[in-house]
Structure 1
Amino acid sequence: MANPARAWQGNKNSARDRFLAGGYFSAHHQPKFELSLADRFFTVGSCFAREIEYKLAPFGVPLLLRNQGIERRFFDSWKDGDDAPGADALYAGVFNKYTTASIEHDLRRTILRESYENEGLIELDTDKWFDPHASGLKLLPLEQALANRAKIAEAMQLVRQADVVVMTLGQTESWLDTATGIAMNAHPGPAALRKFGDRFFFVDHSYAETIAQVDRTIQLIRRECNPAMRFILTVSPVPFNATFRPQDVVVGHQSTKAMLRTVAEELFRSYDFVDYFPSYEMVINTPRELAWLDDQLHVAGKMVEHIMQRFYSLYYPQGAVLAAQ
């Protein structure tokens, strides 16, 4: 009876009434721990993790990957001659990790300082190198690709300074590089898949594999970086552009998110230092015209802002007052 959000219908804070209100949905949540503005955040996971960072910054939260990244001119999205203001600024999207396998592999690579020939870069064509552990970078000459890889590796080491890791789980469909063993963040494209034959291997990780990947990552960070590290798990509501499985993309999306949500729930129940924040539920229970951009793929900025105001009001002392200012 102490739970104000216990009822689907029949009281003033019922799920039914919140659904029918027509605005941004707010999920009831009781955090396991409080945070202070001195707590340093390391945010890892899908593109939704970057959105969390952008919206936390105005609250004065110390974000270790803030002002880290790679110059925009090295990204696929860059157009020659693009001279928009700030176009050559650092972009943190390079740190996006779309799968639980790539999150684990990149943090293990970072923390244990694993080494690979050519830093794991793959030459797809003459002096055109692909970074399987980055997000969105162009094929680049080896010298520049190695320089970018060094910047990424240096920034990822900041996890050692964190007090809190926010981990956003995005996907389970993964590609592996059998030559290096790297769990790739993205596949290198259809032409490369044809050219390299069986080198790149697709796998859709099971529940057992997925929870093991996230659990091992959590234990690695606490063992090697900070034995008092706290974790806040979220599930990205963002779907994949396309599925590699022979099924409707919507069905694939829902099954993937259900698995990731269950993984987060199990770890939340298992450890007092792991919390789950229900941003996923807030998005999917908000009317689509408010929650999503027109592409129906990316979450609208106002939606993320609403989520992070809710986050701040819950986790920080006096946060409810400050978030409203």
Structure 2
Amino acid sequence: MEFRTEIEVAPARFKISTDSKIMTVGSCFSEVIGGQLTDNKLQCLCNPYGTVFNPSSIFKLISHSLQNQPVFKHLMLENNGIWQHYDFHSKFYAHSKEELERELNLTHRKVNQFLRKANFLVITLGSSIVYQLKENSQIVSNCHKTPASNFKKEMLNVKEIILRFRSMYEALKMQNNKIKILLTVSPVRHTRETLQLNSVSKSILRTACYHLEQDFNDVHYFPSYEIMMDDLRDYRFYKADMIHPNEQAEQYIFEKFANTYFTEDLNGFLKEWNKVKMSLNHRPIQTDTPAHQKFLTDLLEKLDVLSKKIDVSNEIEIVRSQLIAA
């Protein structure tokens, strides 16, 4: 008797290999995927704009980076001597307008350079609900705790999301015709908007993703939302806030992701790399014993072999620093 409904992920039309370049962007779940990719030594630019929930802001930021468009100065705001920007996450701040402008334009250039050579763009959509500034009807990525009276709340519809995606897609393909796009809907519930509105919001995102996958041969949908809602439908897979997937759930979803998109060579490498990671995380009580020194020497040899495939220079330096000169 089966006591769970495991999600069968559709086979991918393209695969990620050890030399693939991947950018993740979108909601906080993009941080999870990007962090896992980086931790497993893949070349990943992880959520360069910070957390961005709504598709309109995600597509706008990517488009501006691709076009090397300077940030909109009229969307900068100052609060108690700190400057921020409505298009960007609150992690971007400065003590002057000019300093913030330089940092944000540098971020756009960094993304532009990466996307020109990237193989994959992973987009995690978090919410269909957007906030518009009343003064100019601009959709913002982050309200930065300014008064709610400054904004008008709206719900994007499927048509709007598809049109805005298409505009971003065309700009992306002009710069890099070979890049593939992986879409997913964040499994994190947005309870601030009520669970009822969260359900409506997620259904719009999922419907938009369905049509985008049908319309574009190089767009593929990964069901992280469905895996969390239907496969891991138990609160033991959530953090204490009962909203975010816990570490066990994140690892499970990433393993599904790897099984779907990674080549056999990459999956084989990951098994090898995970063994090395366990050795790197080993913390002995005594470090100067002959047994531990031999352990370090053997580990260094394994890292030297891996260095022909990936950059493990930091790990090699750490291990060498623990070796006692004979």
Normalised to the residue count of structure 1, the TM-score between the two structures is 0.73
**1:302 alignment partner, one of 235, 239, 248:** 248
Give the C-alpha shift of residue 275 in structure 1.
0.8
**2:111 alignment partner, one of 139, 147, 156:** 156
1:17 aligns with 2:2: yes
Q: Secondary structure at the match of 2:177?
A: coil
Give the C-alpha shift of residue 119 in structure 1.
7.0
Aligned length: 268
User: 1:279-298, CA deviations, whole angstroms, 9 ceiling, x for partnerless residues?
Assistant: 11111121333431110221
**Structure with larger Rg:** 2
Q: Which residue of 1 aligns with 2:50?
A: 95
CA shift in 2, pair 1:302/1:93, >3 Å: farther
CA contact (8 A) 2:9 2:222 kept: no
> Once the two structures are aligned, what percentage of the paired residues are identical?
18
CA shift in 2, pair 1:281/1:119, >3 Å: same
**2:89 alignment partner, one of 132, 135, 149:** 135
Code of the aligned partner of 1:186: N
CA contact (8 A) 2:21 2:43 kept: yes
1:268 aligns with 2:213: yes
CA contact (8 A) 2:126 2:188 kept: yes
Q: Which residue of 2 aligns with 1:219?
A: 170
CA shift in 2, pair 1:258/1:44, >3 Å: same
User: 1:226-264, CA deviations, whole angstroms, 9 ceiling, x for partnerless residues?
Assistant: 011111111101122412xxxxx1111111111111111
CA contact (8 A) 2:155 2:201 kept: no
Q: Distance in 1 between matches of 2:10 and 2:271?
A: 18
Q: Distance in 1 between matches of 2:173 and 2:92?
A: 34
Q: Which residue of 2 aligns with 1:253?
A: 198
CA contact (8 A) 1:39 1:61 kept: yes
Q: Which residue of 2 aligns with 1:312?
A: 258
* CA RMSD in angstroms, aligned pairs only: 2.6
Q: Which residue of 2 aligns with 1:146?
A: 101
**1:36 alignment partner, one of 17, 28, 32:** 17
CA shift in 2, pair 1:130/1:59, >3 Å: closer
Task: Please list every run of at least 4 consecutive aligned residues from structure 1 whose deviation after the TM superposition is greater than 4 angstroms.
Answer: 178-182, 319-325
Q: Distance in 1 between matches of 2:126 and 2:245?
A: 13
Structure 1 gap ranges (5+): 1-15, 66-91, 244-248
1:183 aligns with 2:123: no
Give the C-alpha shift of residue 270 in structure 1.
1.6
1:236 aligns with 2:186: yes
User: 1:140-183, CA deviations, whole angstroms, 9 ceiling, x for partnerless residues?
Assistant: 42254334424432333222221111111111111234666653
Q: Distance in 1 between matches of 2:237 and 2:30?
A: 16
Normalised to the residue count of structure 2, the TM-score between the two structures is 0.73
CA shift in 2, pair 1:181/1:154, >3 Å: farther
Q: Secondary structure at the match of 2:195?
A: helix
CA shift in 2, pair 1:205/1:28, >3 Å: closer
CA contact (8 A) 1:131 1:137 kept: no
Please identify which structure carries the higher helix content: 2
Q: Distance in 2 between matches of 1:19 and 1:134?
A: 39
Q: Distance in 1 between matches of 2:223 and 2:67?
A: 31
CA shift in 2, pair 1:268/1:61, >3 Å: same
Q: Secondary structure at the match of 1:63?
A: strand
Q: Secondary structure at the match of 2:197?
A: helix
Q: Distance in 2 between matches of 1:30 and 1:117?
A: 41
Code of the aligned partner of 2:156: H
Q: Taking CA–CA contacts closer than 8 Å with sequence separation of 6 or more, which of the two structures ends up with the larger relative contact order?
A: 1
